Amino acid sequence: MSEPLTLLSVEGLSKSYGGVHAVRSVSFELKAGEILALIGPNGAGKSTCFDMLNGQNIPDSGRITLLGQDTLGRKPREIWRLGVGRTFQITATFPTMTVRENVQVALVSYGNALFNFWSSAPQFAREEAGRLLDLVGMDGYAERPCGELAYGDLKRLELAVALANRPKLLLMDEPTAGMAPRERIELMRLTAKIAREQSIGVLFTEHDMDVVFEHADRILVLNRGSLIAEGTPEQVRGNPQVRAVYLGEGLVYDARHREGASA
């Protein structure tokens, strides 16, 4: 095995709204099996970046190459077909369907069976759905209506749905937002385990520094639309510029971090 495959390569990505440069000339790469965190204070341009990668927002300039294909101007559903799984900051699931059916719908789409009017959907890819639910520890909830689930379980279900198309890349926008601290660690541990086993690249944004420093292989730091630092957790932690803009001047990191965790 030589150098791992480059999954995603972003070059000179820019987007402005009126006079505001939301994202300025951001470039980075992501390799298979790598977990990359995108962090930055509120308004740094994380979500704009994310939406452009996902096809929900069109950049003013720049290139996004996903598995050798230029994705600029493609719709989210087309990018999904290239092998990208996606989870949302606020979970998006199908509340009137059961947990299993949520996964089955994704499998129907992946199996190009959207216009299959005759076979039985409850039997469609039932085992595969069960396997995915098992993977995220949701197998006991398969028959539950998804609208009844607790938030942490919804997040896990979303992960299972995102894995249904056997993605090469997972895009997770604040995967642990709104979760209790213990759940956060568990969810990210699970994600990291799956990513390593299946050699999936993961790009995630996150506010919780515990999660970031524990799980990310590399970290990108955005501030006011520009990339100000990039490197391993140790490198980023020691970067004075990052400490200044992101962690706040005069604040000891540990104190702030404890405050954040207890809030």
User: Would you tell me which residues interact with another protein (CB under 8 A)?
Assistant: 54, 75-78, 80-81, 86, 88, 92-98, 101, 104-106, 108-111, 113-122, 124, 143, 145, 147-150, 153, 161, 164-165
Least gap, CB of 170 to another protein (angstroms): 12
Q: Is 58 exposed, middle or buried (0-12, 13-18, 19+ CB in 10 A)?
A: exposed
Rank residues 39 and 161 by Cβ distance to another protein and give the closer one: 161
Burial of 1-21, coded b for 16+ CB within 10 Å and e otherwise, reads eeeeebbbbbeebbbeeeeeb
Least gap, CB of 174 to another protein (angstroms): 15
C-alpha closest to that of 187 among 135, 145, 257, 140: 135
Rank residues 23 and 105 by Cβ distance to another protein and give the closer one: 105
Alpha-carbon span 156 to 138, nearest angstrom: 7
Least gap, CB of 195 to another protein (angstroms): 19
Rank residues 92 and 252 by Cβ distance to another protein and give the closer one: 92
Residue 118 is classified by DSSP as: S
Query: What is the four-CA torsion angle of 132, 134, 136, 139, rounded to 10 degrees?
Result: 110
Least gap, CB of 251 to another protein (angstroms): 32
Least gap, CB of 240 to another protein (angstroms): 38
SS3 240: helix
Alpha-carbon span 46 to 169, nearest angstrom: 17
Strands (E), 98-209: 169-173, 201-205
Rank residues 120 and 262 by Cβ distance to another protein and give the closer one: 120
Rank residues 2 and 119 by Cβ distance to another protein and give the closer one: 119
